[in-house]
Amino acid sequence: MDSLDLKYAKSVIQRLSEKETFMKSELFDIVTSNQVLDKLLDAFQRDGYITKGLSTYGRRTYSISLTAKGHAVAEQLKRTQEVAKGEITEEGAQFKMPPDWRDRFKGLSAMTHLNVLDDHVAIQEIDHSGKTTSVIMVYVKRINSHFELWCEKDESKECRHVDFAWSLPHMRALIEEYIKEGKIKEVGRVE
């Protein structure tokens, strides 16, 4: 298991990116257990995300710095959060998350194990108890050099399922691939 999969990992990596060096004690507001923090930092060091500097105060006190790999991970985490919040758009993508995306997409989940083809996105609707109530297919339509999405359930190009499909990372990657290959020139809804 990679150390980034451990509890608190992403929060600690992001904190460590805020300045050049930290003392371990400066991380206790994120991880309150000394033992848990030691295990996490040891795993980070093993995976090459941090270095530990010796201290004159004793072997249990040391400074912590991100490596270049750690900085790259922290930057990627920051960018991912900004995209998820709708603060920025992915390069090449010509859309932005709607401001009410949390409410609009509540109860929707992409069924990525079904998304092996680039002609549709399977989205499951989940009720308040966590049970799947339906699976909605949103199809990718290429019309000449234009790319759009169409929801089978709502028979529409403008619904929350379509908006959710536009927000998925693999959909953004598909759009970028089509643009690079020259398969499409426009993205969005055609009237």
Predicted local distance difference test score (pLDDT) of residue 90: 47
Q: Is the pLDDT of residue 79 over 50?
A: yes
Distance CA 14, CA 155 (A): 42
Most confident of 22-36, 111-125, 127-141, 151-165: 22-36
Residue partners of 144: CB distance under 8 A and separation at least 6: none
Tokens of 110: 């992409």
Is pTM beyond 0.85 here? Answer: no
Residue partners of 140: CB distance under 8 A and separation at least 6: 118, 119, 120, 121, 147, 148, 149, 174
Q: What percent of the chain has pLDDT over 90?
A: 19
Predicted local distance difference test score (pLDDT) of residue 114: 40
Give the distance, in angstroms, between the CA of residue 132 and the centroid of all CA atoms in the same chain. 23
Q: Is the pLDDT of residue 190 over 60?
A: no
The mean per-residue pLDDT over the stretch 101-121 comes to 63
Q: Is the pLDDT of residue 124 over 70?
A: yes
Q: Which residues pair with 138 in a beta bridge?
A: 121, 151
CB atoms within 10 A of CB 138: 25
The structural domains of the chain, ordered by start, are 3-82 (1.10.10.10), 101-187 (no CATH)
